[in-house]
Amino acid sequence: MRLVNKSFFYKTCSVIRYYVMCLYHYNRFRGSAMSMVGRKNAIYLEKGSSMKWGGRVILNDHNFIQVKGHLQIGGGFGMNSFGRIVAHDNISIGTHVTIGQMVAILDHDHDYRLINDKLQLEGYITAPIRIGNNVWIGDKCTILKGVNIGDNVVIGAHSLVNKDVPSNSIVGGVPAKVLRSIPEISR
């Protein structure tokens, strides 16, 4: 009985956190349907940025989301703990996408230059990321700028995705390569 009460209390607090976040960022943050936001998540929306998500979005605990550009997340999205999404330009995530623990999705690189024998940050190099529908991203993967991931894709754990991934495929490795294709099943 004790676990049921804790679960109910946790879900209630999660719903309250979600609605407080929506009220605070009502002009730049658009969410629909029921969403669950876990504990100790950090969501930063910079001036001029926007974040939209569809129905049933679940963020577990300790995730970091920073939006300086645009972030769009489709319905049926789930992100496990300790994930990181940083959108300096544009990140678009389709419907029914599941993300494992410690996944990083970054649409930028740091632009370092050697000036007077000193390494200095000169800004960022950005390119949009598109993740299709029905995608499963395994634990500890990194998705880098300019990547398009097709529909019905599985990305194996510990993969570094720095090139486009075709639809209906399983990829893995550093850098990620197509391991095999997923056959379509007709019903």
- Active-site positions read 110
Q: Do the beta carbons of residue 40 and residue 18 sit within 8 Å?
A: no
Q: How far is residue 128's CA from residue 61's CA, in Å, rounded to a whole number? A: 26
Report residue 46: phi and psi, to 5°.
-80, 165
Q: Do the beta carbons of residue 57 and residue 34 sit within 8 Å?
A: no
Q: Do the beta carbons of residue 93 and residue 131 sit within 8 Å?
A: yes
Q: Tokens 């007709």 map to which residue?
A: 186
Give the sign of the dihedral formed by CA 52, CA 50, CA 60, CA 156: positive
Say how many Å lie between the first and final Cα of the chain, rounded.
Answer: 43
Q: Do the beta carbons of residue 169 and residue 185 sit within 8 Å?
A: no
List, in sequence order, every residue forming a beta bridge with 97; answer none if it has no partner. 135
